[in-house]
Structure formats: structure tokens, C-alpha cells
Amino acid sequence: MHKDLFGSKIAEALAGLPPDWDAVRCLTHLRRSFPPELAREAAALHSLRERCKARIGKDLLPFLRNPGSQQVSAPAIAKQRAQRISELTPASRIWDSTCGLGMESLHLAQAGHQTVSTDLCPTTLQYAVANLRHHGLPAWAVQADATGQAVRASHVLLDPDRRPGGARTLDPRAWSPSLSTTLEVLARHEGGVAKLPPGMDIPGDWDRLHAVHWVSLAGQLLECTLWTGDWAPETGRTAILLDKQGGSLEYAGVPQDVPACGPTEAREVRFLADPDPSIVRSGLLGRLAREQGLKPLAPMLGYLGGDQAPDSPFLTGFQVLASSPLDRKKIKRMLAEHDIGPIQVRQRGHDEPSDLLERKLRGPGQQRGTLAVARLDQGRWVYLLEPLTDPK
């Protein structure tokens, strides 16, 4: 890494580059003013900033590199996590033991915590320091292994690397640090949090000993987090729903079973609900369904149905206008009766891509419509839906 990459001259040069310039054009332009190595690194930085702008933001982490940018926490999630930590242990000393490019350290420092940032990679650590200093924040940074005891802190945050060899792995023994080592590090501190794969099946005793959260942002499940010690004052499972404006909703409880609809009941439901993935992965769908007076349309199927309109923010609710077997002619007739032409397809338990179904099942009418395709016990069934924009 060139020592001047974080300097003011490069910052001014990159600020003047049009966002639509490709890497070659950027490099050609920058080589007129900078040494070849620095120009290459600056052009790559500009390209990475543009690629990550929608996910990370334009100026939150101005210094990005690969590998590293793929593992950066979503800003809304990092901010919500820092707020939760501040409510539990205000102004605490925190070790961000796998800091990467500094997203977590940034939000913790902004929330008033004394944060020590460490990473195994010295280059990545330099980028994290530059990102913190860009915001005028102190940067206490040490190159260190998250499995050691290089930092004295009451609380710790870990994000095990699930791409230790370059390819993502779900084998917790292959993570860096491994899951077992991560748990040991957490146990040495008064409180801690570890970021885990969102689709991970947690061991049976975790939610009795700790707090486990599943976090979705704008309908996309992004994280499972394990909270321990005094950062888990209440154990159990929680689904967390975030929006891009910073809003946060939580649903906590103990998993409950709920019987699925019978075949006739499933085909004749008046309302259908599509749950947020945080509710599904947390195992709290049955509990929520009972509260809402709904049932799964079939065993192991996420869709809920019933005669009562859903009113939970964790459920996207629809009124069922009509339904049909997954038969093209019958569906076309159903759509024609409701003047439906172009359609949006939602599906669970069906293998055909939604965009293919949208082209194949398009109706002859003028209005836009929504179809849900569900795999019931006796075959695929299709529901014509009207969104509940103001459910009661």
C-alpha cells in the first residue's frame, strides 16, 4: 500500500472523478499526477467506492479494500448495535477484536465508547484507522489476534472470518477464529457479541444461556448475533426488523408449534401473510401465528393464512381475491375475471424462478396484480392477492 493513499491530494483527486468512469479511465487520468503504484491503488479505491456506495454509503467508510469490503456490517445494523450497547453499558471500554475496515469501531466511538480496534492484517488495520480519523475520531488500533489477550477491555465484539481461504464456508471449525474459540473469548469478558451467519442453526441451549438475535434490514436477513454476559440481560430469541431510515422493531419469545391448515382450509383462506425472514429463522413464526390467529398453509411452509387480517409489522399481509391450482389455463381465467395483466409473483416451495412465472402466467387484463405460489400437501396452489396497505 502506498503511504500517500490516505493523503489530501488523493482525496481531492478522487473527489473530482466522475462516478461513471471505469477503472481504466480513472487510472489513465490519475497517472498524469501521481506515481504509477499510487495511481493504481487510487483508481481501485474509486471503483470500489462506487460499487459499495449503495450498500455502505458514499462517505461513511471512504477507505475500502478487498478482501474486507464484503464483510462490512450494514451501517444501519452497526448503528443499532452501538445504540443497544450504549443502553446496556454506557461509555464502556470495548475491544473490536476483528475490526476489519472499522464500521463497528466507528459507530461505537460515535456512541461514546472507548474502543480499541484490532485486526490480524496490518494493511486492513491502516484502512480502519484512516476511516476513523476521517470522522475526527480517536483511533486506538493494534495489530493483534482476536484469540489472544492483547487488549484489556470489559467487553468484546467478534466477527469471525467465514472466508479464511477466500471462499465462504459454513463450517464453524474453519472460521477465523473458530466458533469454539469465539465462545472462549466471549466467556473471558463481562459481556460480548459475536456476528454469525444469518442462516445458522443455533445449538439448543444457546437461547437459554444467552441472547440470540436475527436481524433483517428492509426485508433481507443479514445477521444472527450471539450476545453474552451483561450484554444479554434477558436470554432468549429475538427477531429484529430494521428499515433504512433507522427504525427498529423487535419481537421476542419462545418458539411455539402451531398446526398447519388442512388441505381445504389452506385453499380457502381469506387472508395470507408473508413473514419477515427474521421471524422465520428465529423460530418464532409459530408463536406469532398463534397471536395473529393464523396458521401455516402447510407444514414447513412460511406462508400463513386464515380468516383474520394480519396486523404485525413482521408480516406482509394480503387479502385473497381468488385462488386456483397451478394450472396455466385456470390461472389465466382467474386473472381475466379480475382484469389482471402484468403480475408480481411471490413463492415458497416452488422451484421455477419468479421472473419466469411472471412472464408465463401474465394475464390478459390491464391492472397489475400479485400472485403467491405455495406448495401445499396436495400440490401447488396459486393465490391472487391484494396488499393490505392499512391492515386492521
**Which pTM does this prediction carry?**
0.92
Nearest to 211 by CA among 239, 246, 182, 175: 239
User: pLDDT-derived band of residue 391, with 50, 70 and 90 as boundaries?
Assistant: very low
- Provide mean pLDDT across the span 321-336: 96
d(CA 160, CA 182): 8
C-alpha 74/C-alpha 138 separation (Å) is 22
Mean pLDDT of the region 148-173: 89
118 or 70, which is more confident?
Answer: 118
User: Given this model, what pLDDT does residue 390 score?
Assistant: 53
CATH 3.30.2130 fits 263-387, yes or no: yes
Q: What is the pLDDT of residues 121-139, one digit of tens each?
A: 999 999 999 999 999 999 9
Beta bridge partners of 257: none
**Domain spans, the chain:** 8-52, 69-253, 263-387
| Tens-digit pLDDT profile for residues 93-109 | 999 999 999 999 999 99
Q: Which of 79, 117, 81 is nearest to 101 (CA)?
A: 117
| CATH of region 69-253 | 3.40.50.150
Read off the pLDDT of each residue in 63-86 and give the average, rounded to a whole number.
92
For residues 191-214, give the mean pLDDT. 93
